[in-house]
Structure 1
Amino acid sequence: MHSLIIGCGDTGVRVAARAVAAGDTVTGVVRSEPSAAKVRAVGAHALRVDLDADVLDLPACDRLFYFAPPQREGDTDTRMARVLHAIDSVPTYTVYISTSGVYGDCGDAWVDETRPVNAESERAKRRVDAERQMLEFSPQARVLRAPGIYGPNRLPVERVQEGTPILNDTDGGWSNRIHIDDLATIAWLAGTQALTHNIYNASDGHPTGLGVYYDMLADMLGVSPPPRISWAEAEQRFSAMRLSFLRESRRLSNQRLRDDMGYELAFADFHDGLAASLKAEPD
């Protein structure tokens, strides 16, 4: 079997390692030489390509893992359109990592995969378009809607150590997360199993207020919890992108994923996920 990973970054390298261990021939598509070196380090082939500008000559594959984000402007994912046009035949397995942002703001509601998409930001609208493209390209494709991804070197350590304020709990909503190792395993399982559904919430299933996450990280780092600020002050201090994330609240259910894949997350409790991530980070 040949696995082709488009956008072989942190998550992709982890999937590549799993594919290599399973005996696949693996090609990871990256843009930079440092990224290519990480792909080669796990035993995979690295293909350096600019997905927006280069002529795309992509190898045939049995498993397609598409992890590249859309370009930064517009309502459609033109990057994905170029890639899918360059693939000659539909792979047996296709996996796309999307975002839970396609649901928009859901307040306190629990959200499963039957909820209609309601993308509010241009960024999320591009993801909705990407999901549509992928499912039209391959009706058996598996779309993984991921929330915030955390793991080694993906924690707001400096922000917490510097005492950067966060939005207070009364003004903030629910946040969701997934450890990067769990996401990689879920993606690999989606690319190797016959599954009942096309769309899965790839979340740890334990939403919390954002402050709970930051306070726990601060405690593990041995520093004071981040100070809280109001929404009015946040609008003055935070970037437009950060505010767009904070405006949305939802509680993601991962029941479908656990039922269909039979996967028990390694880090369903983000306390353990944070501890493991900090332990894995270099001093």
Structure 2
Amino acid sequence: MSAARPHILIAGCGYVGQRLAARLRDRYEVTALVRANDKAAALDRQGLKTLAIDLDRVRAGASLPERLDQEAIVYLAPPPSSGESDLRLDRFLHLAFVPPKSFVYMSTTGVYGDAEGGLVDESTPVMPRTDRARRRVSAEEMTRVWCHERRVRRVVLRVPGIYGPDRLPLERLRKSEPVVRPEDAGISNRIHVDDLVAACEAAIENKEARGVYNVTDGNSISSTAFLDLVAKIAGLPPPPRVSMEEAQLTFSPERLSFLNESRRVSNDRMLKHLGVKPRYTDPEAGIRASLER
């Protein structure tokens, strides 16, 4: 029975990928590609078909689990932590010989860079300011070329901060880690993991979907406001405040890179063309639901 179902390969089956696999497995034959053997074994025990390939060290003879009825490849694996190109994705694409009907790539809204609090949409030119974002721009272009040459429908989901069950900053709040003052905090964006999974599913099943989509809840608030909200709902003290000048001296470079970018990300195309209406447009509702699970 299962052999008659179309096949979907999820590359990078972690926080998002496992939830997507659970959502798809009743209708598709799903295979998860992970990096380590122990992770593959853990997913196998959950009843998910898995394969372990370290895309940083691809061995001779390695191959992907592909079928002629390849419905989709959903690529969720992060780029390497250094460089300006995603060599991990490049190695994966060299292993993919059977073109799927669609290729879904999860990118980041960080490719837009700093808009000084202004609104960006999919027509806004990318202006990456960090190597992390440049690697994503490189990956988007890599998938564009690969899919164009093979006539594969390509969907890029540009995603901001992801939150959900077991993905709230509770430990930071318990440790009383400081945040920048509200007047210094820029505008950021986020998406609940359940709504991101719905967007991935729509990217596979909406045959008209192609190109780039911003996937956000449409509620742009600062990271300080979000942390304050989490603290209030979780019954924790609000985090202490520091000025941006103090933050420059004590925060990590990676954390500062997020704070130094401010933008409001439009999700109109996601709503109107991809056909995804987020369940958690209000962060308060999303936080409460995350704490209950």
CA root-mean-square deviation? 1.4
2:45 equivalent to 1:36:
no
SS at match of 2:50: strand
1:8 partner amino acid: C
Unaligned runs of 5+ in 2: 1-5
Superposed displacement of residue 181, structure 1 = 1.0
Q: 2:49 aligns with which of 26, 45, 49?
A: 45
Q: 1:4 aligns with which of 9, 16, 19?
A: 9
Tell me the residue number matched to 1:162. 175
Q: 1:249 aligns with which of 241, 254, 262?
A: 262
Write the deviation string for residues 80-139 of structure 1: whole angstroms up to 9, x where unpaired: 111001111321011000000000001121111000000010110000000000111114
Separation in structure 1 between the aligned mates of residue 272 and residue 95 of structure 2, nearest angstrom: 35
Contact 2:203 2:209 in 1 (8 A): no
Q: 1:16 aligns with which of 11, 21, 27?
A: 21
Superposed displacement of residue 162, structure 1 = 2.2
Matches within 5 A, 1:84-233: 84-139=93-148, 140-233=153-246
SS at match of 1:80: helix
Unaligned runs of 5+ in 1: none
Contact 1:174 1:209 in 2 (8 A): yes
1:16 partner amino acid: A
Superposed displacement of residue 54, structure 1 = 2.4
Superposed displacement of residue 72, structure 1 = 1.1
- Judged with a 3 Å threshold, the aligned counterparts in structure 2 of structure 1 residues 125 and 107 are, in CA distance, closer, same or farther, namely same
- Judged with a 3 Å threshold, the aligned counterparts in structure 2 of structure 1 residues 260 and 43 are, in CA distance, closer, same or farther, namely farther
2:68 equivalent to 1:59:
no
Aligned length: 279
Relative to the length of structure 2, the TM-score reads: 0.92
SS at match of 2:25: helix
2:288 partner amino acid: A
- Judged with a 3 Å threshold, the aligned counterparts in structure 2 of structure 1 residues 90 and 268 are, in CA distance, closer, same or farther, namely same
Tell me the residue number matched to 2:31. 27
Q: Percent identity?
A: 42
- Judged with a 3 Å threshold, the aligned counterparts in structure 2 of structure 1 residues 43 and 195 are, in CA distance, closer, same or farther, namely farther
Contact 2:160 2:191 in 1 (8 A): yes
Tell me the residue number matched to 1:235. 248
Contact 1:171 1:230 in 2 (8 A): yes
- Judged with a 3 Å threshold, the aligned counterparts in structure 2 of structure 1 residues 159 and 279 are, in CA distance, closer, same or farther, namely same
Superposed displacement of residue 34, structure 1 = 4.9
Separation in structure 1 between the aligned mates of residue 32 and residue 54 of structure 2, nearest angstrom: 13
Separation in structure 2 between the aligned mates of residue 196 and residue 70 of structure 1, nearest angstrom: 24
SS at match of 2:133: helix
1:70 partner amino acid: P
The runs of at least 4 consecutive aligned structure 1 residues that moved more than 4 Å come to none
Contact 1:17 1:43 in 2 (8 A): no
- Judged with a 3 Å threshold, the aligned counterparts in structure 2 of structure 1 residues 42 and 178 are, in CA distance, closer, same or farther, namely farther
Moved more, 249-258 or 222-231: 222-231
Q: 2:82 aligns with which of 55, 64, 73?
A: 73
2:23 partner amino acid: R
SS at match of 1:138: helix
